[in-house]
Each structure stands twice: as C-alpha cells, then as structure tokens.
Amino acid sequence: MADYVLLDGVRTWYEKRGDGDPLVLLHPGGAGVDVRAFGPNLGPLAAQFCVYTPERRAHGHTPDMPGPITFDAMAQDTIAFMETVVGRRAHVVGSSDGAIVGLLVALRRPDLIDRLVLVAGVFHFSGWLPHVIDPNNQPPEFLARLYEEVSQDGAGHYQVVVDKLARMHLEEPALEADDLGEVRSRTLVMVGDDDEVRLEHALAIYRGIPDAELMVVPGTSHGLLVEKPDLCSDVILAFLIDDPVPTMAPIRRKASS
C-alpha cells in the first residue's frame, strides 16, 4: 500500500508492506535516491515485519520544501511519521543518510525505537572519506534519471536538490562521540570493508553506543545492502528477531554479562 501523509507541511510518501511488528526503513540520501535502494532487502524484511518505507523531503515521491535540507529537519519529519503513521514503538533500519536520521531519532526520542540498525552512516561529517563530501563531485547520471521518474518537483528541480544536499553534507551531522552514549536502543552497526565511511569512524560508533554490535561485511562498498543482499538481510533479521547470545569470553560486555 502506497500513500501520502501530511506531516508539519511535508507531504510525505510512504509504502506499507507485510504484517507483524513495525519496522521503519530509512533509505540512503542523495538526489535520486529513495526507497528503491532497499529493493533487494524489502522482500525478506516484509516477510517478517510490517515494513514502513517513508521517503524524506526532496527524495523520491516526497516534494522538496523551501529552505535548506538538514538532518535535524529530516529527523523531525521521521519522528512525526512514527508518531502519526506507525503509532507505536518500532524497529528502525537506516542506511547512509538514513542511518544518520535514525541515530538522531534514537537520541531525541528513545521511546520510539526498539532495535536500531545503522548501515554505513556517520555521527560527524568527518567520518566520510574526504572525496565523498567534495562539493565539486556531480552525482552519476543514473541518479538524475531515477529522480525524474518519480519526483513531484520535476526534472528541472534536480540540481537544486543536489546543491542543497551538498551543503548539508559539508556541515552535518556534527554530533560528538560522547553523544553516542545517550543511545538507549540495542544497536547493530554495519559497514562495508571498502566503504565510504572510514572504518575507524564505524568503530567509534560501535564503541560509543552502550549496547552495540558490529558487522563489517567483507567484499562490499557503500552499497553493501545491494551487493550482498542475502547476507545483509539475514544479519539484520537475526539481529531484529533473536535475543543476544551469551558469549563465552566477553570483554567489552563483561560488566553486563
């Protein structure tokens, strides 16, 4: 089922698939990137959960809004979506920019999130490899075509969104490592071993969140969810469904074992 919901002036498009406990998927960012990025993963996840896939402002079917695009605004939009449409505590899986949005929601509204999966995201813009946030980089042409296929703002608005997102990525997010200690959800941190996120930064997220687990997916890049979809979906499902196992020789978790 696809529908729109008006959230504080943002006409937000979303789909709902499957039955069971609610799971909100927060797609990667970038002009031309939307929930289609979860294509290989959606079937397995919707077989176990009631999956909600909102598209954020200026992404996919959801139109842009006047003014800059910020992670703060998108986090507020997501909070409004979870309160209004989901209506209860839910699991959240976010990829890339969606992981940043999910992290901000977890910090601001821990009551809304049960288990949290952060795929290839950062807590500070310095966590990206230097070339990733170069404002002189132009998106690949296929993203413009994807944008034109569904955007409510029309093809002529594409460069406007590209410029807004370039500015955002140069300055945001700007959390401190100490902020991660406020995340209350059990969290899975996932990253490709050849990701656009610095591996040291992914480790900092894992070490900073009190109840975190880490998965480095071998042989993958920033597109790990589509490069090894079966492996990634299996790992995410096991994390969301199963309880933690008691480990034989805990070190980091020794105090709570």
Note the pLDDT tens digit of each residue in 92-130: 999 999 999 999 999 999 999 999 999 999 999 999 998
The letter for the amino acid at 35 is: V
Looking at residue 136, its pLDDT comes to 80
DSSP single-letter state for residue 143 = H
How do residues 193-236 score in pLDDT, each as one tens digit? 999 999 999 999 999 999 999 999 999 999 999 999 999 999 99
131: left (phi over 0), alpha (psi -120 to 50) or beta: alpha
How do residues 35-71 score in pLDDT, each as one tens digit? 999 999 999 999 999 999 999 999 999 999 999 999 9
What does the pLDDT average to over 127-148? 90
145 pLDDT tier (thresholds 50, 70, 90):
very high
Looking at residue 71, its pLDDT comes to 98
Taking residue 241's Cβ as centre, other Cβ atoms within 10 Å add up to: 13
CATH code given to domain 2-256: 3.40.50.1820
Name the pTM for this structure. Answer: 0.97
How far is it, in rounded angstroms, from Cα 209 to Cα 132? Answer: 25
14 pLDDT more than 70: yes
Q: Dihedrals φ, ψ of 12, to 5°?
A: -95, 125
Looking at residue 256, its pLDDT comes to 61
Where along the chain do its domains lie? 2-256
